[in-house]
């Protein structure tokens, strides 16, 4: 019951009632990308499920009966759509025109997920925030399953 109350508290935040991706005020928010702390509508949730792995976007329906303490802690650490959008706007990745893969597979979004994971575990994030140029670079998994940059030449050191 405590988890449901915590989730309800986050759902009552005005910014979390509009989809973090399409920002269509006519569509009801029905899901959340847990590891990004982003509340999304059903059509966007379907796109997340089709185009993104759970490591990138773990999508859960808001009406789910079971929420783990870890999932709620991650949502609390991120605060929801306002904080997520403010962070992603630093990299010009917060508008509805940005493709999901470009947004969620970016270095900046991976930094965001890592930061939430660290906060959720009671740690102070130690990693330096990516520059604007670094933040928009796309990431992917290599054959061993480790994260790598899609185009290493596009990152300036």
pLDDT in tens, 27-40: 999 999 999 999 99
Q: pLDDT value at position 155?
A: 44
Q: By percentage, how much of the chain surpasses pLDDT 70?
A: 87
User: pLDDT tens digits, residue range 82-112?
Assistant: 999 999 999 999 999 999 999 999 999 999 9
- Domain edges within the chain: 2-154
Class of domain 2-154: mainly alpha
Q: pLDDT value at position 141?
A: 57
Q: What is the DSSP letter of 57?
A: -
Average confidence (pLDDT) over 132-147: 68
């Amino acid at each position: 019951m405590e988890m449901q109350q915590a989730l309800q508290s986050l759902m009552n935040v005005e910014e979390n009632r509009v989809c973090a991706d399409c920002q269509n005020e006519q569509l009801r928010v029905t899901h959340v990308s847990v590891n990004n702390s982003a509340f999304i509508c059903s059509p966007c949730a379907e796109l997340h499920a089709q185009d993104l792995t759970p490591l990138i976007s773990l999508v859960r329906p808001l009406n789910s009966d079971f929420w783990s303490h870890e999932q709620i802690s991650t949502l609390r650490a991120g605060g929801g759509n306002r904080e997520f959008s403010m962070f992603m706007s630093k990299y010009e990745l917060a508008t509805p025109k940005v493709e999901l893969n470009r947004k969620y597979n970016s270095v900046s979004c991976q930094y965001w997920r890592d930061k939430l994971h660290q906060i959720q575990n009671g740690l102070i994030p130690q990693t330096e925030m990516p520059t604007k140029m670094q933040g928009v670079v796309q990431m992917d998994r290599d054959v061993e399953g480790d994260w790598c940059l899609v185009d290493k030449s596009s990152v300036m050191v």
